[in-house]
Structure 1
Amino acid sequence: MADVQQSEYYSGDIARQLLAHYDAHARTLPWRTPPGAGFANPYHVWLSEIMLQQTTVAAVGSYFQKFTHIWPSFAALAAAADADVMAAWAGLGYYARARNLLKCARVVVTEHGGRLPETEAELLKLPGVGPYTAAAIAAIVFGQRAVVVDANVERVVSRLFAISTPLPQSKPQIRAATDSITPDRRAGDFAQAMMDLGAGMCSVRAPSCLVCPVAFACEGMRLGNPEVYPAKTPKAAKPQRTGSVYWIQRGNHVWLIRRADKGLLAGMRALPDDQWTARLDGHSTPPAPAAWRRLPVQVSHVFTHFSLLLDIAVTAWPAGAADPGEGEWWPLKSLDKAGLPTVFRKATEAAMNAGERICACKIVVRR
């Protein structure tokens, strides 16, 4: 790691140079207020920060626009039906964020009069708000000096200070180093400038060091190998799980269930499955007695902690028979409005693209 005294010598220059660059080159984002235009909309910043957790800016943009159009305030979101919010979130992943989004909006309305608390300590008490999000809101919305460290900032600071300790063990070092260069004024702009730098010039591979506004202070560049930072502990291989999903069709409708309120993809609409989890393979037992036929296709999906390979079994459901259990018949032509999680959207597309046409009396396979 670079000498601390040298880092302190550069700290003020780093902030000045980076803020000057940000003033001229800040990214235009739907939730961001341009430099010099005042503090950002608290609801917009909070919503975007929750959405951006472990998700790219490119993926979040359309979801942010949709949410702010349907629910333009904390009060509007707090009054929304859980199922509607979960359906609108479908495809963005990490669904616990959507559940915490609702919880947080309701706490803000009921306990804080519809306004976000202004301190990091109070923000940390809100559902779904961790240290990074609390610091980002405090700095960007309320102008407080806060140390904001996301993955982009980790990369920039690791290179500036040549921090060789692997992540995640280096997080305290990175935070201390970020603290040493965070200015007392314009901490929010500084945080966003660091994020922009990491998302652009200071990219994972082939960083643009020659045009970087803080290259003069970068120890990683001086050593000639900025790309080796941040060092990372090798990840353990993800376990592979297997399971099945079940396509039950009656006429022009397919049977959907609501998943349990706790656990993976909690509360989401989905196709029935055989209870696979991150720890266990599915048991291969269909949800109801029927003439099941397995399709000659499989669906793969990667979750945060495991990979999944799914078989797909299909059956036709007689028009006069009792329903297969608890669930709902959903029109095939409106499946895109069901808010299915990505893994079940993949299974739906695979089933329909496999050329299966399921009628009330039998399964007809197109040859």
Structure 2
Amino acid sequence: MPWRAGPAARATGERPDPYRVWLSEVMLQQTTVAAVKGHFARFTERWPRVEDLAAAEDAEVMAAWAGLGYYARARNLLKCARVVAEAHGGRFPDTREGLIALPGIGPYTAAAIAAIAFDRAEVVVDGNVERVMARLHDVRDPLPGAKGRLTELAARTTPEARPGDYAQAVMDLGATICTPRSPACGICPWRAPCAAREAGVAAELPAKTPKAAKPVRQGVAYLARRGDGAWLLEVREARGLLGGMLGWPGSGWAEEVPEHTPPVEADWRALPAEVRHTFTHFHLRLKLMVAEVGDAVPGRGSFVPLDRFRPADLPTLMRKAYDLARAEWP
């Protein structure tokens, strides 16, 4: 992966770049490697050093983050880059304690950066490592309650020598061999000592406490287009879901559509289809209202000229609304 320094490079003295390790770890939170690779390449090409990212405009970074989801990470990314650039001279702290004091860096991310970038013997436990430990030691207590025990077991195997390589190796083992479904036990390097494989229950672990059904929330989005092709957009409030991102003006989201008013006077009409989107804690159903507008001054947002409007800068939910509106309202 592009943020790693492989064994051959390390043998020549090359060390992982803490900036690239940090950036990759933040991007990989709740996001797949496949989704991250392209964004990582674009970020590091545009902002190759933490100082470059720290000097970037908020709107540019939020637009570049579009599609990765969990947008609070992007806001914290900027905060952290600026603290590292201004308070630490562009150098990341090399200990877990120093890293965890930075904005947006929690216990897992601090341990991962300390181990991978600085070879600190920290215990790095993500979902892949939890699964490997649960199977290796046949831990049948369900998650999330079993997290503490699985972390203790992971700590027992974390070595003093090359802890960064070890951390990445166990995460890769879980991602490629000890997978959630149909683990490839026959080619696993830990096949012999694996207690769950011996008991015939590897594919059933780790056990998980059943999740409650996600509630459904409703909302409305207004897509207004001027005769010259400009679209009416707004930057969402910094706090909350999609905070700081570009979006269509609309209502709040609740069990029933909250009271709201259109952002500009127009002959609004409802599209026959709705946007459906799932967040971590709820499903969203978004009704779309569309209108061609003249020169009226909007009460919310501002018109973005067609030559400056890029659908790729929208978060996934808002891009879904745009795609659906374009299909239903050419």
Aligned to 2:237: 260
Deviation string for 1:243-299 (max 9, x for gaps)?
11001111111100111121221111111111225x764335323332211011111
Q: Is residue 173 from structure 1 mapped to residue 149 from structure 2 by the alignment?
A: yes
Aligned with 1:201 (options 177, 181, 190): 177
Aligned with 2:320 (options 328, 335, 346): 346
The normalised TM-score by structure 1 is 0.86
Letter in 1 for 2:218: T
* Whole-angstrom CA distance in 2 between matches of 1:149 and 1:300: 33
- Give the 5 Å matches for 1:30-179: 30-38=2-10, 39-179=15-155
Contact 1:269/1:338 (8 A) holds in 2: no
Q: Is residue 240 from structure 1 mapped to residue 240 from structure 2 by the alignment?
A: no
* Whole-angstrom CA distance in 2 between matches of 1:64 and 1:87: 14
* Whole-angstrom CA distance in 2 between matches of 1:333 and 1:236: 45
Letter in 1 for 2:9: A
Contact 1:276/1:283 (8 A) holds in 2: no
Offset of residue 334 of structure 1: 4.9
Aligned to 1:331: 305
SS of alignment partner, residue 215 of structure 1: coil
Letter in 2 for 1:175: T
Contact 2:264/2:300 (8 A) holds in 1: no
The 4+ residue runs of structure 1 with deviation greater than 4 A are none
Offset of residue 337 of structure 1: 5.3
Aligned to 1:11: none
* Whole-angstrom CA distance in 1 between matches of 2:197 and 2:274: 46
* Whole-angstrom CA distance in 2 between matches of 1:37 and 1:266: 40
* Whole-angstrom CA distance in 2 between matches of 1:324 and 1:290: 10
SS of alignment partner, residue 280 of structure 2: coil
Letter in 2 for 1:73: R
Letter in 2 for 1:70: R
* Whole-angstrom CA distance in 1 between matches of 2:258 and 2:307: 29
Aligned to 2:204: 228
Aligned to 1:272: 249
Structure with larger Rg:
1
RMSD of aligned Cα (Å): 1.4
Contact 1:274/1:287 (8 A) holds in 2: no
SS of alignment partner, residue 135 of structure 1: helix
Q: Is residue 212 from structure 1 mapped to residue 184 from structure 2 by the alignment?
A: no
Offset of residue 330 of structure 1: 1.9
Q: How many residues align?
A: 325
Deviation string for 1:147-206 (max 9, x for gaps)?
000111111111001111111111110000001111110110010000110011101111
Offset of residue 339 of structure 1: 1.5
* Whole-angstrom CA distance in 1 between matches of 2:305 and 2:274: 23
SS of alignment partner, residue 141 of structure 1: helix
Letter in 1 for 2:146: S
Aligned to 1:289: 265
Distance 1:261 1:200, change over 3 A: same
* Whole-angstrom CA distance in 2 between matches of 1:90 and 1:257: 15
Deviation string for 1:201-241 (max 9, x for gaps)?
10111101011001111011010110111110101111101
The alignment-based identity, stated in percent, is 52
SS of alignment partner, residue 298 of structure 1: strand
SS of alignment partner, residue 313 of structure 2: coil
Offset of residue 99 of structure 1: 0.4
Letter in 2 for 1:253: A
* Whole-angstrom CA distance in 2 between matches of 1:335 and 1:297: 24
Distance 1:353 1:94, change over 3 A: same
* Whole-angstrom CA distance in 2 between matches of 1:163 and 1:135: 23
Contact 1:243/1:284 (8 A) holds in 2: no
* Whole-angstrom CA distance in 1 between matches of 2:326 and 2:43: 29
